Structure 1
Amino acid sequence: MRLISIRHCRPGMRLAQPICTDQGTILLNTDMILTGSMIQRLEQKGIYALYIHDEATADVERNEAVSAETRQIAAKMIYRGFNEIIHAEQKWKARLSPGTLAAFRTAFEAILSDLKHNHRAMGLLSHMYIQDHYVYAHSLNVTIYATAVGLELGYNDKELLELGMGAMLHDIGKLMVPREILYKPGKLTDQEFFQVKKHAEYGFEYLRHQQGIPLLSAHCAYQHHERMDGTGYPRGLKGDNIHKYARLLAVCDVFDALTANRVYRSAMLPHKAMEIIYTGSGTQFEKKVVEAFHKTVAIYPVGLAVTLSNGATGVVVDYNRDLPGRPVVRILKNPDGSSAEPYYEIDLARESTLMIVQCDTIL
């Protein structure tokens, strides 16, 4: 399968991965033949790339650390819980039902189980989900990234539960921000941006009064926009004054935001998003967390077309768990530009003199 920009998709192409909604429902299943109207509708809904069946990569599978089934279950749980708040008569005073709190915990435990039993680098999570309210999908993605990084950092089960629940609910305060501001396509006014920033305090105040939510999970909502150098909000905390869960979430939150489409800008490729995070390592973000994130998340998605430093071009076909930035590449064209017949693969983890110098943009 091949990762292709939605703008380069054509009628007759066959899907290699399903398209889901942020509610966990499959909209278009694997092997669906695309039509012109389908492609147009997907682009309108914010889908910016698709996995398409391709002869040169027909045997390539996108085996994720968290299964599609687990993602669908967790997405439904998050949708149910957040809608419970959205449709409450008084959002500020609403209480999550015991059943919903149990569902959040069940969803997290399913994610944790998958990650513990599948020691693969984390792939790109953002590009194949149609979003009704971007907080839903973003919350799920950040939970998966954060749990994987927590495992990498050696967190125990209690810490992982506090972190995971905090990640799942870190943006819950945005449900208290007017929808027309959250989805405004143009630049926010100073007053509108002030309202958006209030979501960290809204979320903390809401969660700390919920029975069954650890107080440290509530602090994830409060502090995930704080930065190591004190330039964050809402309190301008610095360094170790920011809880370690929030320091971890800061990296996961920014990475997912950068690699997902928003109404005000297009998504970035993962390696570009990682460059931005590295720029802030030691100033905005904790170095230890950035390094753990880099070891955990594959910044070159399977199916992405790349050019190597020797001039050869190919497609990423697999990750290396210990070196996610050094994937396995199937060479389709030799350094001289001739077609590779037969195709062959280069494991960049074993070829230290070669590196990826260019990625074919999927945006």
Structure 2
Amino acid sequence: MKFVDIETVEAGQMLGRTIFSSNGTVLLSAGVQLTVYMISTLKRLGVTVVYLDDPKFRDITQDEVISEETKRMVVGQMSETFEALRSGKPFNTKAISQSVDQLLDDVMRNQNMLVQLGDIRTADNAMFLHAINVCMMSSLLGLNMGLNMLQLKELAIGALLHDIGKLDAPEVEEGRTHHTWRGFEMLKMKREYSLLSAHVAFQHHEHVDGTGVPRKLSSEDIHLYAKIVAVANRYDNMIFGSNGEPPMQPHVACERLNALSGTELDHEVLVQFMRIVSVYPNGFSVKLSNRQTGVVVSQHRGLPGRPVVRVIDKDGEVAVGAAQIDLAQQTTLFIEEVMQ
């Protein structure tokens, strides 16, 4: 499996990862042979990058913290929730809680995996996949920071619904019309949920230096859950692009996050985040400091910036007799560039 720009995809190539519709059903399954019409449709839907099933790299897979089954179920439930709210009806809090339970089961089972965000997003599914990613990363962070199961559930519900106030929000948000206020007002009325989950929606845009919104809270007044979700939310937005900003490569996003330590984002949460995220995900093409190029094939827990790379030649073929380079062992070699 190889990560490529949609503009380089040709008819006849095989899709490497499933693409979901906005209601959780499968839009295109992994393994389907792409046609000119499919590629054109993906571009029209806002897809910019895809994973291809390349025979030369078929053994390369991305570890998934959240299974496709869970992802499908949560996307479908989020779609139903937002549709209910648009219709002025109460949403099913029990169903959301059950979705979070299944997501947390996946997180607990796969807690030693590094986060590699490889979802293929369309304009329709982006909001739901963003919510799932923020929930998944926040839950992993909470687990690493010693939260118990009750706390993890409170955090996960708040993370999954952190942007619920954006539904039908005004274009220009300020004061009590800001989506953080709106989200808080929606969630605090749900007796089935902890008030702390509502405060995740309320505080996830606050900055530890007191420059955030909506209330300009400083670090000691911002709840840990909101500090965690702030980091996960910012990272996902950086990776997939948000508010007119283009998508960033994971290593660039990590550098940007670290630059915000102690000002917008909490330092300790960032330290923990850098331990769970893959800086160079599997399937990414990279150039090494010895001028060789290759594809990332596997990761090291605890050394997210030092993956294993399979060398390829200038024609994109696996170099004859070339061994895989383990950057955890080859300490004088570095990744100089990520290529698409």
Shared fold per TM-score greater than 0.5: yes
Tell me what 2:312 maps to: 332
The 1:243–1:262 alpha-carbon spacing in structure 2 relative to 1, beyond 3 Å, is: closer
Tell me what 2:72 maps to: 72
Specify which of 113, 120, 123 is matched with residue 116 of structure 2. 123
The 1:196–1:5 alpha-carbon spacing in structure 2 relative to 1, beyond 3 Å, is: farther
Q: Which stretch of the first structure deviates more once superposed, 286-295 or 224-233? A: 286-295
Structure 1 spans left out of the alignment, 5+ residues:
89-93, 182-191
Mapped pair 1:354 → 2:322: no
3-state DSSP of counterpart to 1:113: helix
Q: Is the 8 A contact 2:175 2:214 kept in 1?
A: no
Specify which of 142, 147, 165 is matched with residue 155 of structure 1. 147
Specify which of 124, 136, 160 is matched with residue 168 of structure 1. 160
Specify which of 256, 278, 290 is matched with residue 310 of structure 1. 290
Tell me what 1:341 maps to: 320
* Cα drift, residue 193 of structure 1: 4.5
Letter in 1 for 2:160: M
Q: What is the alpha-carbon distance in structure 2 between the residues aligned to residue 9 and residue 197 of structure 1?
A: 42
| Structure 1 segment 200-215 matched on structure 2, within 5 A | 200-215=180-195
| Structure 1 segment 15-164 matched on structure 2, within 5 A | 15-88=15-88, 94-96=89-91, 100-118=92-110, 119-125=112-118, 127-132=119-124, 134-164=126-156
Q: What is the alpha-carbon distance in structure 2 between the residues aligned to residue 254 and residue 196 of structure 1?
A: 22
Letter in 2 for 1:40: S
| Structure 1 segment 125-274 matched on structure 2, within 5 A | 125=118, 127-132=119-124, 134-178=126-170, 181=171, 192-194=172-174, 198-262=178-242, 264-274=244-254
Q: Is the 8 A contact 2:21 2:125 kept in 1?
A: no
3-state DSSP of counterpart to 1:359: strand
Q: Is the 8 A contact 2:56 2:318 kept in 1?
A: no
3-state DSSP of counterpart to 1:321: coil
Q: What is the alpha-carbon distance in structure 2 between the residues aligned to residue 301 and residue 83 of structure 1?
A: 34
Q: Is the 8 A contact 1:327 1:347 kept in 2?
A: yes
Pick 1 or 2: higher relative contact order, CA cutoff 8 A, min separation 6. 1
Q: What is the alpha-carbon distance in structure 1 between the residues aligned to residue 64 and residue 125 of structure 2?
A: 24
Give the TM-score of the pair, scaled to structure 1: 0.88
Give the TM-score of the pair, scaled to structure 2: 0.93
The 1:33–1:263 alpha-carbon spacing in structure 2 relative to 1, beyond 3 Å, is: farther
Q: What is the alpha-carbon distance in structure 2 between the residues aligned to residue 169 and residue 251 of structure 1?
A: 15
The total of aligned residue pairs comes to 338
Q: What is the alpha-carbon distance in structure 1 between the residues aligned to residue 87 and residue 331 of structure 2?
A: 55
Q: What is the alpha-carbon distance in structure 1 between the residues aligned to residue 173 and residue 179 of structure 2?
A: 10
Q: What is the alpha-carbon distance in structure 2 between the residues aligned to residue 224 and residue 213 of structure 1?
A: 17
Q: What is the alpha-carbon distance in structure 2 between the residues aligned to residue 121 and residue 226 of structure 1?
A: 27
Q: What is the alpha-carbon distance in structure 2 between the residues aligned to residue 297 and residue 282 of structure 1?
A: 20
Q: Is the 8 A contact 1:332 1:344 kept in 2?
A: no
Letter in 2 for 1:60: I
Q: What is the alpha-carbon distance in structure 2 between the residues aligned to residue 174 and residue 338 of structure 1?
A: 46
* Cα drift, residue 272 of structure 1: 1.4
* Cα drift, residue 76 of structure 1: 1.1
Tell me what 1:185 maps to: none
Tell me what 1:188 maps to: none
Q: What is the alpha-carbon distance in structure 2 between the residues aligned to residue 159 and residue 243 of structure 1?
A: 12
3-state DSSP of counterpart to 1:27: strand
Tell me what 1:186 maps to: none
1:313-341 per-residue CA deviation (whole Å, 9 max, x = no partner) reads 1001112222222211111149xx99721
The 1:254–1:202 alpha-carbon spacing in structure 2 relative to 1, beyond 3 Å, is: same
Q: What is the alpha-carbon distance in structure 1 between the residues aligned to residue 124 and residue 65 of structure 2?
A: 25
Q: Is the 8 A contact 2:61 2:283 kept in 1?
A: no
Letter in 1 for 2:199: H
Letter in 2 for 1:148: L
Q: What is the alpha-carbon distance in structure 1 between the residues aligned to residue 125 and residue 151 of structure 2?
A: 28
* Cα drift, residue 281 of structure 1: 1.0
Q: What is the alpha-carbon distance in structure 2 between the residues aligned to residue 304 and residue 290 of structure 1?
A: 24
Aligned Cα RMSD in Å?
Answer: 2.1
Q: Is the 8 A contact 1:313 1:333 kept in 2?
A: yes
- Percent of matched pairs sharing the same residue: 35
* Cα drift, residue 261 of structure 1: 4.1
The 1:331–1:295 alpha-carbon spacing in structure 2 relative to 1, beyond 3 Å, is: same
1:227-257 per-residue CA deviation (whole Å, 9 max, x = no partner) reads 0111100000111211001111111011111
* Cα drift, residue 17 of structure 1: 1.3
3-state DSSP of counterpart to 2:274: helix
Letter in 2 for 1:345: Q
Runs of 4+ in 1 over 6 A off after TM superposition: none
Q: What is the alpha-carbon distance in structure 1 between the residues aligned to residue 81 and residue 53 of structure 2?
A: 36
Q: What is the alpha-carbon distance in structure 2 between the residues aligned to residue 265 and residue 284 of structure 1?
A: 18
